[in-house]
Structure 1
């Protein structure tokens, strides 16, 4: 049986996306996905799903940085045009906002990418016979 298909003792959760956002196993929705801030566990402690298939790469960081960049740059431009504060005010305002808008959504977005990878059975591309690399 494929490791990522439904296990009879642990049926798939109805919404693996919600489980991913909560940092839970995409199959059972109960086990913890992370052992550290962004370190993925080797297996689920509840259903035993092997997390070796996981390769979210830089996708979560890219989306988080894109969102954060848009929010912070837009807010800084609006503030500069309307108020024209000194540079130290910009540093005091935008450095904490950068930290909040990058670190807070990073773990949920990585969990979401992993859940999407599980749900759609995404894996590394392989060349077939006769394909040229």
Structure 2
């Protein structure tokens, strides 16, 4: 479904459904990524701080790397999920092809 990191293919390689002109993911994947990463990392930060009591700079740098890595992992998957949902619901001009 994806041609590069966040670029959707022009057409589906299996069924030749045109994808590029119809999908409108906009900011949805970014908002969902922030929501998921925040809900996963906030309890982990609190747990790590109360259990291990690390130096604040170590805690901040460790969880910054974790947040960035998790965000980079989730963003293209959530964009694909939103485009897939738009295709399944025939939104924004998707047709049965």
Q: TM-score range by the shorter chain?
A: 0.7 to 0.9
Kindly indicate which of the two structures has a greater share of residues assigned to helix: 2
Structure 1 vs Structure 2 CA RMSD: 1.7
Mapped partners of 1:94, 1:79: distance in 2: 10
Equivalenced residues, count: 92
Give unpaired runs (5+ residues) of structure 1. Answer: 1-32, 125-133
* 1:55 aligned to which of 1, 24, 29: 24
TM (normalized to structure 1)? Answer: 0.62
Q: Give the Å deviation of 1:86.
A: 0.6
- Give the Å deviation of 1:70: 1.6
Q: Which has the higher contact order (CA 8 A, sep 6+)?
A: 2
- 1:116 paired to 2:94: no
1:93-132 matches, within 5 Å, as 93-123=62-92
| SS in structure 2 of the partner of residue 88 of structure 1 | helix
TM-score (norm 2): 0.82
1:75 corresponds to 2:75: no
